[in-house]
Amino acid sequence: MAVVGAGPAGFYGAATLLKAGAQVDLFERLPAPSGLVRYGVAPDHQKIKGAGRIFDKTARLPGFRYFGNVEVGSDLSLPELAELYDQVLVTMGAAADRRLGIPGEGLEGSVSAVAVVGWYNGHPDFVAAPPLNGNRAAIVGVGNVALDVARVLVRHPVELEPTDIDEDALDALRDSRIEEVTLLARRGPADAAFDLGELEELVDLVGVDVGVSDPDDRLRAELDLAAQLPAAARAKLEAVARLPRAESLTARRRIVFRFFSAPRELLADGAGRVRAVRYEHTEPTGEPGRVRSTGRFEELPTTLVIRSIGYRAVPLPGLPFSEAQSIVPNDRGRVLGADGRVVSGLYVAGWIKRGPTGLIGTNRSCAQETAHAMLEDAAQLRTHVPAPPNPIEALLEERGVRVVTYPDWLRLDTAEIERGQRAGRVRVKTRSRAEMLAWLDGETLKAAAG
Ligand code: NAP
């Protein structure tokens, strides 16, 4: 079986398949495995990053092979994989960002949280640092990613030093002039996408004040209706209402929530850079979770606007895709074609299957559901004839693809951890693909010479 994408869903799916006796080749377009565990989870959430060790265990199961630095859709096509394997499980996640669709979004200083998260996590595709030379950053959206980004931007850099944050990003954060991060939410606190624990983590930050801007005293009216809300929503509303008001904050570094604020335009300075967000006040309609426009606008001066409004999956040639839902249509992981019928041998798991929501662990049950469907289908196909050797390695060699194997990755992993130990850090990451491959080839040469 082939699995495409070595993130959490790919590894959890592979583990279930391997434990049932399947042979699994796992393809990953980047040299390093682990997907969002390495490149998405915030560097100051090292406990969650520990999931990477579970993936190492999976990689030791008999029948597992890793093909890192191999891009399906470029080095190999999906139809080719489907020819070479009995079943193909695609777990390529949702790698792109969503757009707000408002004027000014393309200005310099307007970036996506996807790019900022990739930047501080040393993702090879996100080298550019966001401009940190102004004293305020505005973040659009109040999901857990928005709170991660806010925390990393204002947290004292000394606290980030022991983590695996990218070295250049850490340097840039040391020089950052940002003092205030304002989070703009188009709805109220009861409908905020963040988890309460993430808000509490912000409040606990040392040397950072967290407050709420509430000029219309709307929170009081919201609290009057709190008894009707589900427990989780009420808890969020009450936690926000307990925050000090923005005007009373005294710390040099601050995080400020502005609820009922919908961005309508990013305004430019004379040089085409962002100078402010123009947003419209919204108000509750009375229907749960719904707000309406008020026609009252305000400008928030800022030179950096980070849209943190979710991730978006990118279609893969040969794989059915629903643009409207931004997922691959599927029935418990079995891919469905345009006619609504199951496409034999093709499966999905993770964010490409169910959309960009949930914690790392959510992918375990999601991938297991798909893997069980694959095993059920495989049982129907099983012929008990040993499979002929798969020509995949020869094919990739012929195409000049430098495959990174799991032992290669483990050597890189050890080298990163050792570099980190020398610097008093969890690890020092290698960002660039070329650097990773050059290091691996250099080590191979050294070993051959030795
Ligand atoms: P998310 O949870 O879907 O949050 C998206 C945010 O963007 C919401 O506040 C949403 O507001 C807002 N938004 C969407 N479209 C908008 C628009 N056009 N204008 C203004 N605001 C807009 O997405 P995420 O933060 O990217 O997180 C993705 C998933 O990863 C989530 O399930 C999250 O829990 C998970 N995650 C977890 C952790 C953790 O556990 N520590 C860390 C990071 C991510 P509305 O609600 O009004 O639509």
Residue-wise pLDDT tens for the chain (450 aa)? 999 999 999 999 999 999 999 999 999 999 999 999 999 999 999 999 988 889 999 999 999 999 999 999 999 999 999 999 999 999 999 999 999 999 999 999 999 999 999 999 999 999 999 999 999 999 999 999 999 999 999 999 999 999 999 999 999 999 999 999 999 999 999 999 999 999 999 999 999 999 999 998 999 999 998 899 999 999 999 999 999 999 999 999 999 999 999 999 999 999 999 999 999 999 999 888 999 999 999 999 999 999 999 999 999 999 999 999 999 999 999 999 999 999 999 999 999 999 999 999 999 999 999 999 999 999 887 655 556 778 999 999 999 999 999 999 999 999 999 999 999 999 999 999 999 999 998 876 677 776
Report the alpha-carbon distance of residue 76 to residue 90 in Å, rounded. Answer: 14
- 223 C-alpha to center of ligand 1: Å? 23
- Interior CA angle at 222 toward 217 and 228, to 5°? 170
Q: Which residue has the tokens 């030179």?
A: 303
The letter for the amino acid at 214 is D
- 186 C-alpha to center of ligand 1: Å? 12
Task: Decide whether any atom of ligand 1 lies within 6 Å of the 310 Cβ.
Answer: yes
Nearest CA to ligand 1 atom 42: 144
Instruction: Among 144, 236, 237, 257, say which to mutate for ligand 1: greatest number of ligand atoms within 8 Å of CB.
Output: 144
**Is 206 in contact with 156 (CB distance < 8 Å)?**
yes
Q: Which of 309, 264, 312, 259 is closest to 289 using CA atoms?
A: 259
Nearest CA to ligand 1 atom 25: 143
- 117 C-alpha to center of ligand 1: Å? 14
- 97 C-alpha to center of ligand 1: Å? 11
The letter for the amino acid at 202 is L
Instruction: Among 305, 309, 360, say which to mutate for ligand 1: greatest number of ligand atoms within 8 Å of CB.
Output: 309
Instruction: Among 186, 325, 362, say which to mutate for ligand 1: greatest number of ligand atoms within 8 Å of CB.
Output: 186
Nearest CA to ligand 1 atom 10: 141
**Is 273 in contact with 108 (CB distance < 8 Å)?**
yes
Report the alpha-carbon distance of residue 235 to residue 290 in Å, rounded. Answer: 19
- 166 C-alpha to center of ligand 1: Å? 24
- Give me the sheet containing 274-284, strands edge to edge: 261-268, 274-284, 291-301
Task: Decide whether any atom of ligand 1 lies within 6 Å of the 362 Cβ.
Answer: no
330: left (phi over 0), alpha (psi -120 to 50) or beta: beta
Residues 6+ apart with CB under 8 A from 330: 336, 347, 348, 353
Q: Which of 128, 105, 133 is closest to 117 using CA atoms?
A: 128
- Give me the sheet containing 304-307, strands edge to edge: 110-112, 304-307, 136-140, 180-184, 253-258, 208-213
Q: Classify strands 304-307 and 110-112 as parallel, antiparallel or unpaired.
A: parallel
Q: Which of 330, 350, 360 is closest to 95 using CA atoms?
A: 350
CA distances from 355 to 63, 93, 358 (A): 30, 8, 9
Residues 6+ apart with CB under 8 A from 446: none
Report residue 58: phi and psi, to 5°: -60, -40
DSSP assignment, residue 143? S
CA distances from 132 to 195, 317, 430 (A): 27, 38, 23
**Is 142 in contact with 194 (CB distance < 8 Å)?**
yes
104: left (phi over 0), alpha (psi -120 to 50) or beta: left
pTM: 0.96
Report the alpha-carbon distance of residue 122 to residue 165 in Å, rounded. Answer: 7
**Closest ligand 1 atom to Cα of 198:** 41
Task: Decide whether any atom of ligand 1 lies within 6 Å of the 117 Cβ.
Answer: no
| CA gyration radius, the chain | 24
Task: Decide whether any atom of ligand 1 lies within 6 Å of the 143 Cβ.
Answer: yes
CA distances from 353 to 77, 145, 319, 320 (A): 20, 20, 12, 11
Nearest CA to ligand 1 atom 29: 357
Determine which helix (DSSP H) or strand (DSSP E) holds 328, and give its type and residue range. Answer: none
Nearest CA to ligand 1 atom 14: 309
